[in-house]
Amino acid sequence: MLDAVRCIVGRDLLLALRRRTDIATALLFFVVVASLFPLGIGAEPNLLRAIAPGVIWVAALLSTMLSLARLFAADHADGTLEQLVLGAAPLGVVVAAKTLAHWLLSGLPLVLIAPVIALQYDLPQPLYGVLALSLLLGTPVLSMIGAIGAALTLGIRGGGVLLALLVLPLYVPVLIMGAGSVEMAAAGLEPGGQLLILGALLVFSAAFAPWAIAAALRISLE
């Protein structure tokens, strides 16, 4: 089973490295969106500091959503996906591996770039840790919930926008807890509660999302 995971993650990473621009554009989108808000609202430092956690988190949501289309599309197009569904490895493990690879390529870079955005918003230095941790816990959840949506909308024309409509309401708890943890820390309070809830969401989705993604894939491919 671990062999299957290693194989699939390795393959997805290798394929992604051959098309580095895809990852880069998603990251660039993240940075661009976060840069739009000061342009729209005005660069008042106190205001920016206040909205920073929310803006960074919303940008992370949108960026993850944009990259979700890539999750199954390429494999679906060349028939690999059917092979994976019919193959020997349990489909739940396969989709978990693909989602892990997806997170490594689109979620983890967000965690690493977020401090740069935080710098733009003049977020106080001590909060960088909480921000990074909240994103580290939250982005895998976004990948997993998003993967359910991606599997459900596989091959549908206009699927990208539909995917957004389906998945964004489900993202709300992650957004609230993620941004909330940083805001708590900014107010001088303990962010531990929200971070623990994020952790719980992570564990919960890791346990149940693979089932839903696998079920959705089978439905979409039959």
Partner 1 sequence: MNTAVRWFWFASPHTFFPLAGTIARVCAWLAVPLALAGLYVGFLVAPTDAQQGEVYRIIFIHVPAAWMSMFIYLVMAFWAALGLAFNTRLSGMMAQALAPTGALFTFIALWTGSLWGKPTWGTYWVWDARLTSELILLFLYFGFMALHASIDDVRRADRAAAVLAIVGAVNVPIIYYSVQWWNTLHQGASVSFTKAPSMAATMFLGMILMAFAFWLYSIAVAMVRVRCLILERG
CB of 162 to partner 1, least distance (A): 6
List Cα–Cα distances, 37 to 34, 43, 49, 144, 174, in angstroms: 6, 9, 12, 27, 21
Question: Is position 73 an interface residue for partner 1 (rule: CB under 8 A)?
Answer: no
Among 180, 185, 191, 199, indicate the residue that binds partner 1 (CB under 8 A).
180
Which of these segments, 16-24, 83-91, 107-115, 171-179, binds partner 1 (CB under 8 A)?
171-179
Q: What is the DSSP letter of 20?
A: H
Which of these segments, 17-25, 37-45, 105-113, 164-172, binds partner 1 (CB under 8 A)?
164-172
| Distance of alpha carbon 135 from alpha carbon 57, whole angstroms | 8
Assess contact for 131 and 123: CB atoms under 8 A.
yes
Question: Is position 188 an interface residue for partner 1 (rule: CB under 8 A)?
Answer: no
H or E element that contains 110: helix 108-120
Cα 143 from chain centroid (whole Å): 4
Nearer to partner 1, 84 or 177 (CB): 177
- Looking up tokens 């989108």 gives 29
CB of 23 to partner 1, least distance (A): 27
Sign of the CA dihedral with 206 first, then 34, 184, and 182 last: positive
Question: Is position 96 an interface residue for partner 1 (rule: CB under 8 A)?
Answer: no
| Distance of alpha carbon 108 from alpha carbon 114, whole angstroms | 10
Which residue type sits at 35?
S
Assess contact for 222 and 86: CB atoms under 8 A.
no
Footprint of partner 1 on residues 191-220 (CB under 8 A)?
Answer: 197, 201, 208, 212, 215-216, 219-220
Which of these segments, 10-18, 24-32, 93-101, 175-183, binds partner 1 (CB under 8 A)?
175-183
Question: Is position 47 an interface residue for partner 1 (rule: CB under 8 A)?
Answer: no
CB of 48 to partner 1, least distance (A): 18
Residues forming contacts to partner 1 in the complex (CB under 8 A) are: 145, 148, 152-153, 156-159, 162, 165-166, 168-170, 172-173, 176-177, 180, 183-184, 197, 201, 208, 212, 215-216, 219-220, 222
